[in-house]
Amino acid sequence: MCGIFAVYNYAGEVTAFRPRALYLSKKIRHRGPDWSGCITTGNHIFCHERLAIVGVDSGAQPITNADNSIILTVNGEIYNYLSLKKLLNDPQPYVTQSDCEIILHLYREIGDKVVHHLDGQFAFVLYDKAADRLIAARDPIGITTLYYGYNSTAPQEIYFASEMKCLNETCDRILSFPPGHLYDSTTGQFKRWFDPDWWSEELIPSAPVDYTILKRKLEHSVRKRLMSEVPYGVLLSGGLDSSLIASIAVRETRKIVKKHEVQVRTGSVDDGNSSSDEVTNIEWGRLHSFSIGLPGSPDLLAAREVSKFLKTRHHEYNFTIQEGLDSISDVIYHLETYDVTTVRASTPMYLLSRKIKAIGVKMVLSGEGSDEIFGGYLYFHNAPNAEALHQETVKRVKNLHTSDCLRANKSTLAWGLEARVPFLDTNFLKLAMNVDPQSKLCSSDKIEKFILRKAFDTSHDPTLEPYLPDNILWRQKEQFSDGVGYSWIDSLRDEAERKVTDEDFAKSHDRWPEDTPQTKEAYWYRSEFEKWFPEKACLESVVRWVPRTDWGCSADPSGRSQKIHNVAYNSI
């Protein structure tokens, strides 16, 4: 992952604007601390802040082709880039070993259809000088953040940036670039290019569960995300999702190391021209896992057990309530949202990411997306029927770019750490979102995410190596902001009571007539957001989680507020 900033059709003198552009791009250097680049052409400017994961020595951006007629700035990872090289009819010399350069070469041959061939998480801006055409695109689910903005005094200009903080001083309208869309300057329009059959909330699927294929698809998704020339690890909370990803990663890393050892023994080590999409750092040794929590928290205890079972090199970190409270303002600055549930969960993730980067790791796998796909949050127990559950899962996946994807991307990249999310692989989504939702319904004897757990349950065959201990495989959902320690959320509420007076809270609507905070905690976060981003333009991209009170759910996003949680964890 990296940071990008670009301006198309700048109204003034680009040369004079260049220092200003560098200043704005520098605001996201935390995303890409390894190198910076800037190219101007005509009245357009393209900047890049690089985090080197693949093509470490030669992947500086923006990238241009041989005659400098195409300019590309990318934030992302293209997992199938080696395979895509075979699609080129007229291969041109590569100037980098980066996985992202393939976008430029494919565009030269097939134009904006390039987006249909990319398997990865990405946001990019590409300028074609010959056609005087700019296109910008974002990955299907919005794993990678991207914003665009306008200035009403120069309506022909359009700005693009990985984070809103590059735009708020300049643009009086800022929006989140819609996932799965492409912007084309020749039409000035956005068009959806990712449109799978499951995208409609009205079409209720009926396919039966194929546990074997479900397992195989997730394993393949994890394997391709091990593409890295730098040390990597896994975020391990001890919950089902992160533990499964860790278990698969251990197995896949083992296979890759074994394959390499055979190649070394036989003298057939890959010369770099293989068509296999396998570029994996194998010198890091055992897979490293990382967890964080308050001392004695549920997640730390579970993660410790999983690490011991999987034999990972485990790193466990404690944080204090005060450290968390002291970080809230900075977290909101990096998140660029005041959504309560996102801030709660992002703070420990933000603290953990700093620890991870400090030991030299630049990429981690994470478990985001599973709960949205399989109806894994505890409030899904209240779904009235299978149709309603499916519609809610589709809606939650569509909005991941405003919540969990935003959290995973910005909390980690605040420290130059990249998070990859195997559950959101488009091939895995195609399978999992087309399963009959009846199989995802919870009941008194059917735990949430049952079909995912069942797919990795080996208890029926004692000859198979188990993926996880049974008590972890069948552990009830524990939201990350709860699992790090129940007193974390309680302390946030207490701090909000101290910070926000009854008088100020009573005037919430007068201060913020739109999207008025409903709790003192929400008031506190909104106030911090306003300190960093006082401009009205910054509000349009913020989306708050709305609870399903129509399902009888609590208005508080904590999993502990659900009755089913109290039944299972009333002793904690």
Active site positions, annotated: 2
d(CA 276, CA 253): 16
Kind and range of the H or E run holding 89: none
- Closest C-alpha among 394, 383, 395 to residue 553: 383
d(CA 298, CA 571): 12
d(CA 338, CA 522): 7
The SS3 assignment for 235 reads: strand
Residue type, 186: T
Residue type, 212: T
**CA dist 249 to 43, 121, 219, Å?**
46, 19, 8
- Closest C-alpha among 479, 403, 412 to residue 141: 403
Spell out the alpha helix ranges (H) of 46-117. 81-84, 102-110
- Closest C-alpha among 82, 184, 193, 196 to residue 133: 184
φ, ψ of residue 39 to 5 degrees: the values are -130, 135
Spell out the alpha helix ranges (H) of 359-476. 370-374, 386-398, 404-413, 426-432, 450-455, 470-473
Half-sphere exposure of residue 537, counting CA atoms within 13 Å on the CB side?
Answer: 19
| Axis-axis angle for helices 340-358, 486-499 (nearest 10) | 120
Would you say 69 and 140 are in contact if contact means Cβ atoms under 8 Å apart?
Answer: no
As given in the structure block, the two tokens for residue 527 are 């106030």
Greatest pairwise CA separation for the chain in angstroms: 76
d(CA 356, CA 343): 20
Would you say 414 and 162 are in contact if contact means Cβ atoms under 8 Å apart?
Answer: no
Residue type, 94: Y
Cβ atoms < 10 Å from Cβ of 187: 9
The SS3 assignment for 73 reads: strand
